[in-house]
Amino acid sequence: MHAEPTSPSNTYTRIAIVTGASSGIGEATARKFISDGYGVVGTARNSAKLSALETELGAGFCGIAGDIAEMAIVDSLFDAALERFGRPVDLVVANAGRGLGGSVLEVDLSKFEEVLKLNVTATLALLQNAAARMVDQQIDEFPRRAADIVVIGSVVGRNISPFSAVYGATKFAVHALTEGLRREIGPKGVRVSLVEPGILISGFQEAAGYSDKMVEDFTSRFGPLLYGEDVANAIAFMVSQPPHVQISDLMIRPTRQDYP
């Protein structure tokens, strides 16, 4: 996968980066953006899935395989967007992340370090890179054009979860970074928004080590659960607002999910 030049830059209404684009919320968001006429650079570690998405979605989607926790990948996403679509990124969805089941007493510290690097450090690196570029762009563009950074948090980043308290700690950190960045660059014309999904159907639970029984309990207690498309629709609504309007925080749950 590489960024071959395609059609002129004015073909696309916006140019977006979506991390974790090979499944779940990330894939659904990339698909939604493509359907809305955006050019999308999607990244994930699953190169085969990204190649399949390139074939299916066409010239509007550029897949970049790699681990977002590796700093060199972050720069490559912005470079690929400029090369492929002919103009800079004005929308970033920081979605890549990993769950981790278990309580504070039981969590595997080595696994926690991996999740901390991906969920917090890599997200911070992406936010810094995106913010620096967008602030410069908005000097001349705001309020004629919007620039958005959307961060995927979690309901467990606001409420302590009985089944993933340590994972939730990484999302509490992400929420703090998002609000801190909003205060820093909102006055400079860049919108920074947080989306906090509840329980949804994806590969997230398996990767987090949740048992089949736990997932069955989620479905029984809270179902019907969310799908990635539900969150993607919410993101699309947020970023489609006029440039002077910001939805800074949006929590989206299955209707029957009472907690967390």
pLDDT confidence of residue 31: 98
Q: 206: pLDDT confidence band, cut at 50, 70 and 90?
A: low
Mean pLDDT of 224-253: 97
pLDDT at 91 over 70: yes
Measured between alpha carbons, how far is 225 from 44 in angstroms, rounded to an integer? 24
- 1 pLDDT higher than 90: no
235 pLDDT band (50/70/90 cuts)?
A: very high
What's the mean pLDDT when you consider all of the chain?
93
Q: How far is CA 11 from the centre of its chain?
A: 24
Residue 89 has which token pair? 């990124």
pLDDT for the residue 220: 94
Burial of residue 4 (number of CB atoms within 10 Å: 0-12, 13-18, 19+) = exposed
Tell me what the mean pLDDT of segment 129-148 comes to: 98
pLDDT at site 116: 97
Confidence of residue 101 (pLDDT cuts 50, 70, 90): confident
Domain range summary for the chain, segments of one domain joined by +: 9-252
Q: State yes or no: pLDDT of 207 exceeds 60.
A: no
For residues 35 and 46, what is the distance between their CA atoms, to the nearest angstrom? Answer: 22
Q: Which of 140, 236, 131 is nearest to 183 (CA)?
A: 131
- 210 is a catalytic site residue: no
Instruction: Count CA atoms closer than 13 A to 68's CA, side-chain side.
Output: 34
Ramachandran category for residue 43: left, alpha or beta (phi over 0 → left; psi -120 to 50 → alpha):
beta
pLDDT surpassing 60 at residue 221 = yes
Q: Which two tokens stand for residue 118?
A: 């991906």
Q: What is d(CA 128, CA 111) in angstroms, rounded to the nearest whole number?
A: 25
Instruction: Give one word for 105, left, alpha or beta, with left for phi > 0 and alpha for psi -120 to 50.
Output: alpha
pLDDT of residue 84: 97
Instruction: Compute the average pLDDT of residues 14-27.
Output: 97
Per-residue pLDDT tens for 47-58? Answer: 999 999 999 999
Residue pointed to by tokens 């000097």: 139
pLDDT at residue 67 tops 80: yes
pLDDT at residue 251 greater than cutoff 60: yes
In 104-164, alpha helices (H): 109-116, 123-141
The pairing of beta strand 15-19 with beta strand 91-94:
parallel
Asked if residue 102 has pLDDT above 90, the reply is no
Total count of residues recorded for the chain: 260
Q: What is the CATH number of domain 9-252?
A: 3.40.50.720
- Which residues, including other chains, have CB under 8 Å from residue 72's CB and lie 6 or more apart? none
CA dist 225 and 199 (Å) reads 6
Give me the mean pLDDT over the 225-230 stretch.
Answer: 96
For helices 123-141 and 165-185, angle between their N-to-C axes, nearest 10 degrees: 20
Active-site residue, selected from the candidate residues 12, 167, 227, 259? 167
In angstroms, the CA 206 to CA 212 distance is: 8
Q: Do residues 110 and 29 make contact, with C-beta atoms less than 8 angstroms apart?
A: no
pLDDT at 149 over 90: yes
228 vs 226: CA distance, rounded Å: 7
